[in-house]
Amino acid sequence: MSGSTVRPPAGRRERGGLSSRLSKLPPIVLNMAAFLVGIAIWELVVSTGAVVLPGPAAVFWRGVELVQTGQLPLDVLASLKRVLMGFTLGVALAVPIGFLMGWYGIARSLIEPYIQFFRMIPPLAVIPLAIVTMGIDETPKVFVIFLASFLSSVIATYQGVLSVDATLINAARVLGASDAMIFPRVVVPASVPFILVGVRIGLGSAWATVVAAELIAAQRGLGFRMQQAQLYYDLPTIFVSLVTIGLLGLIMDRIVQMIDRRLTSWQERA
């Protein structure tokens, strides 16, 4: 949830010690240093022959090669397209349904059993059914991603509506606001932080689902590329795909986090 860096408490400084000098460096420098140390350890472990894995250099050059041939960009584009389509559809449906469930007791009682039930089925378990009923083109993959992001964000949205401070609603009421005014002016803005948590969770599960969906039936995409590489024992390509998945996931999460900060800057943060 929080940023990648943790500052040490201000009062704890040893005079002249190594840790005090290091703590004066900007966090990004330490982040980069940790990253380089990790690469060095990877190289070291591989060069001793302790494990049979490609080293960082081999993976890097395979990455360059895959970018040059245009294969990696195509795979990334294919995966991203699926994720964004499924995710957008999922969230677009989850927000109104979540509001409906949070605001109207009847809607909650009618819809919640279904949500709770389907939530227990891992979206990946739906893949066989989706392929049989929807074929092997884009539809079943987008559907599974849609399902994953919908289910994880609908709960957050309706919990958000439920947890809107009753005092704020009362405050609006005594100022003369009707229910029809309270909903857009109080309930919606007060729920935004929860909805964004839902969006973030939804994006995470959409990304996790696309790779798995592509492992099973695809002609393109990062998951498909790994599956192909597995057949040919092409470890560097598998590594390139994994690193790409991790980086793209990180970037998307950071973008949502930035939007979150912008939209909820009014929140009191501890």
Partner 1 sequence: MSDPKISFRAVSRRFEAGERSFLALDSFSLDIADGEFVTVVGPSGCGKSTAMNIAAGLLAPSDGEVLVDGRPVQGPGPDRGVIFQQYALFPWLTVRQNVEFGLQVAGMSKAERRRVSDRFIELVGLADFADALPKTLSGGMKQRCAIARAYAVDPTMLLMDEPFGALDALTRVVMQDQLLVTWGRERRTVMFITHDVDEAVYLANRVVIMATRPGRLYEIVAVDLPYPRSEEIRLSPEFATIRNRVWHAVYHQPKSETSSDRREDP
How far is Cα 199 from Cα 100, in angstroms, rounded to an integer? 17
For the CB of residue 224, give the shortest distance to partner 1 in the complex, in Å: 44
Distances (CA, A) of 242 to 226, 239, 246: 8, 5, 6
Tokens standing for residue 229: 């590489």
Tokens standing for residue 68: 């040059």
Binding mask 228-267 for partner 1 (x = CB under 8 A): -------------------------------------xxx
Q: Which is nearer to partner 1, 102 or 223 (CB)?
A: 102
Q: Which is nearer to partner 1, 58 or 190 (CB)?
A: 190
Q: Which is nearer to partner 1, 81 or 173 (CB)?
A: 173
How far is Cα 187 from Cα 173, in angstroms, rounded to an integer? 12
**Interface stretch with partner 1, choices 17-25, 38-46, 80-88, 170-178 (CB under 8 A):** 170-178
Q: Is 85 in the site for partner 1 (CB under 8 A)?
A: no
How far is Cα 222 from Cα 80, in angstroms, rounded to an integer? 9
Residues 187-226 binding partner 1 (CB under 8 A) are 189-190, 192
How far is Cα 200 from Cα 194, in angstroms, rounded to an integer? 10
Q: Is 177 in the site for partner 1 (CB under 8 A)?
A: yes
Q: Is 107 in the site for partner 1 (CB under 8 A)?
A: no
Q: Find where tokens 């949502």 sit.
A: 256
Contacts of 143 (CB under 8 A, 6+ apart): 86, 126, 130, 134
Residues 137-166 binding partner 1 (CB under 8 A) are 165
For the CB of residue 23, give the shortest distance to partner 1 in the complex, in Å: 29
Which of 5, 170, 246, 261 is close enough to bind partner 1 by CB under 8 A? 170
Number of CB atoms found within 10 A of residue 234's CB? 16
Which of 64, 121, 171, 259 is close enough to bind partner 1 by CB under 8 A? 171
End-to-end CA distance of the chain: 14
Q: Which is nearer to partner 1, 37 or 181 (CB)?
A: 181
Which of 59, 76, 126, 186 is close enough to bind partner 1 by CB under 8 A? 186
Q: Is 181 in the site for partner 1 (CB under 8 A)?
A: yes
Query: Is there a contact between 94 and 198 (Cβ–Cβ < 8 Å)?
Result: yes
Query: Is there a contact between 197 and 95 (Cβ–Cβ < 8 Å)?
Result: no
Tokens standing for residue 254: 């950071």
For the CB of residue 178, give the shortest distance to partner 1 in the complex, in Å: 8
Size of the site for partner 1 (CB under 8 A): 22
Residues that bind partner 1 (CB under 8 A): 165, 167-168, 170-178, 181, 185-186, 189-190, 192, 265-268
